[in-house]
Amino acid sequence: MVGWTEALPYAKLYMATCASYWDQPQLQRVLETVITHLNTKSSVEVLSGAQTRNIDDMMDMVLRSCTGCGAAKDYDQALVFLMQITDDPSPLNLSRSRRARGFAIMAHMCFEEGLPEDRRMMNIDAVHRGAVLADVAASLGFVAPVVLQIADIIEKTGFRHQETCPPGHTVDRFLELKDLWRVYGKRKAEMEQKDDARDAKVLAMPNFYFCAAEGCGIEATHKSGLSSCAGKCDKGWKPSYCSKECQRKDWSRHKPFCNAEGTPDPVITALRNRVIQGDTEVRAVPLSIPAASGFVQRSPEGIASRRHERGIDVAGPDGGGFQINSSTMAPDFMRDVQYHLQRLMRGES
């Protein structure tokens, strides 16, 4: 029987290449469908249908062959069916979106070849082949997440602008991918609008996004990532907490302000002032807990929606830094990671 772990590569490849970026299904629902399908339809049945050019079986066989889920991993077999799916003019009389999904899977395969975990070993020719296939998929009007991921990595590795291009290379052939950059530009604009909208909400009500306990430093991507005080304090001035432990620790301080008279909590007032002034300094608190107890069980749907996601800043010795974001790390464990990373960056053992 195929279970959650075995079906995950198939589900992830399906979501990356066959589901539209603009209308992404929840991972949990896709997994449930994939598990049922892999356990009820054998690879022999799927291959038989694919060989008679049943398009659903062809796509299914491609996904199985690429991931090794429900069939042996076989890129050559996957390519045989992909070439038939993407052929133009298509003897299968396929829609543009069907053909685009085929190109998206081929783009994924090329990009995986060209971009190993060690980026120093990047095969720029394979990366370009993947980008060309992603460009074709975009030109057919279907934008899969892998198309945008490819554009994003190309830009971040310096192959979109000559001034950031690695020595010995040019960006000319990547600049020719007009449809790829068109859909990527649209996506970036949408993301910037969402970020601006969240920033506006944080500025207006930072108490809903930052844990009020002193020294915590946890913030939430969405309000639902933290829990607000359930007392009688004014709704607009309620402190929020990342955990019951932080709420208990802060209760003696907050208790005098937790009443119906509307006396503002000074920590919330200070928090609003700091956010408005751009001061988001985080005080690290040394903790030590076993890693096994540092994670929270979340459903795949909850993780995909990011509704539980929390973050914490890790300050670098040069004034820079980065943020850790997770839907599954417990707050104490996240602070522990922050503390040890900051020590490591300062060169402390």
Give the residue extent of every domain in the chain: 4-156+169-188, 206-345
Predicted confidence band of residue 303 (pLDDT cuts 50, 70, 90): very low
Q: Is the pLDDT of residue 302 over 70?
A: no
Residues recorded for the chain: 349
- pLDDT > 90: percent of the chain: 41
Peptide bond into 89 cis (omega under 30): yes
What is the dihedral angle through the alpha carbons of 315, 317, 318, 319, rounded to the nearest 10 degrees?
30
Which stretch of 14-28, 77-91, 164-178, 268-282 has the lowest confidence by average pLDDT? 268-282
What whole-number distance in Å separates Cα of residue 100 and Cα of residue 133? 9
Q: Is the pLDDT of residue 237 over 50?
A: yes
264-270 mean pLDDT: 84
Pair 34, 3: CB distance under 8 Å: no
Where b means 16+ CB within 10 Å and e means fewer, 289-302 reads eeeeebeeebebbb
Radius of gyration of the chain (CA): 25
Each residue's pLDDT tens digit, 47-67: 999 999 999 999 999 999 999
- pLDDT > 70: percent of the chain: 84
4-30 mean pLDDT: 88
Residue with tokens 């598990």: 35
Token readout for 205 is 């009500």
Pairing assessment for the beta strands 227-228 and 240-241 based on DSSP bridges? antiparallel
Token readout for 144 is 């899969």
Each residue's pLDDT tens digit, 115-174: 776 666 788 899 999 999 999 999 999 999 999 999 999 998 899 999 999 888 899 999
Which range has highest mean pLDDT (1-10, 202-211, 326-335, 336-345)?
1-10
Token readout for 236 is 């607009």
Average pLDDT, the chain: 83
What whole-number distance in Å separates Cα of residue 8 and Cα of residue 71? 14
Mark out the alpha helices in 92-231 (DSSP H runs). Answer: 96-114, 124-139, 145-156, 172-175, 178-204
Which pLDDT score, from 0 to 100, does residue 117 have? Answer: 67
What whole-number distance in Å separates Cα of residue 41 and Cα of residue 134? 30
Where b means 16+ CB within 10 Å and e means fewer, 132-167 reads bbbbbbbbbebbbbbbbbbbebbbebebbeeeebee
What whole-number distance in Å separates Cα of residue 338 and Cα of residue 286? 9
Which pLDDT score, from 0 to 100, does residue 275 have? Answer: 56
Which pLDDT score, from 0 to 100, does residue 120 have? Answer: 66
Q: Is the pLDDT of residue 349 over 70?
A: no
Which pLDDT score, from 0 to 100, does residue 176 have? Answer: 95
Q: Is the pLDDT of residue 295 over 80?
A: no
Q: Is the pLDDT of residue 285 over 90?
A: no
Q: Is the pLDDT of residue 305 over 80?
A: no
Which pLDDT score, from 0 to 100, does residue 307 have? Answer: 56
Which pLDDT score, from 0 to 100, does residue 308 have? Answer: 62
Each residue's pLDDT tens digit, 197-223: 766 776 677 788 889 898 888 888 777
Which pLDDT score, from 0 to 100, does residue 118 have? Answer: 66
64-75 mean pLDDT: 95
